[in-house]
Amino acid sequence: MPILQRWDDVEAVVAGPTVSKKIAPGVGAALVRLEIKAGTSASRHTHPFEQFVQVISGGGILDTEDGSERFSAGSLFHFTPGTWHAAHFDEDTVLVETNLAVGAI
């Protein structure tokens, strides 16, 4: 993988009928850019790795053990390993995940 890259040059992987992802793997971490269609829901789930999520555009509702909260462009999520979360996307949304583990994509 080149040192300098553009998301436009990364091949998209279809992750379902309403989600497309682009992956930039690294050593010990991966960046994942997700494009999610309005009306999509991600059911309650966890990850075995630490994850940061940046909301680039769009918005919806995030559910965690702390309750439900609206998110929008500029929001940042931090999930420690094993933290459950779910989301509903009210708008077409673009997220960038930073997954801190080898192969965590």
What pLDDT is stored for residue 49 in this prediction?
Answer: 93
- What per-residue confidence (pLDDT) applies to 2? 65
Taking the C-alpha atoms of residue 91 and residue 101, their distance in angstroms, rounded to an integer, is 29
pLDDT of residue 102: 55
- Segments of the chain scoring below 50 in pLDDT: none
pTM of the model: 0.89
pLDDT of the residue at 47: 93
* Contact call for residues 41 and 89 (beta carbons, < 8 A): yes
Name the fold adopted by 7-100. Answer: Jelly Rolls (2.60.120)
Domain boundaries, the chain: 7-100
Question: Are 85 and 77 within 8 A, CB to CB?
Answer: yes
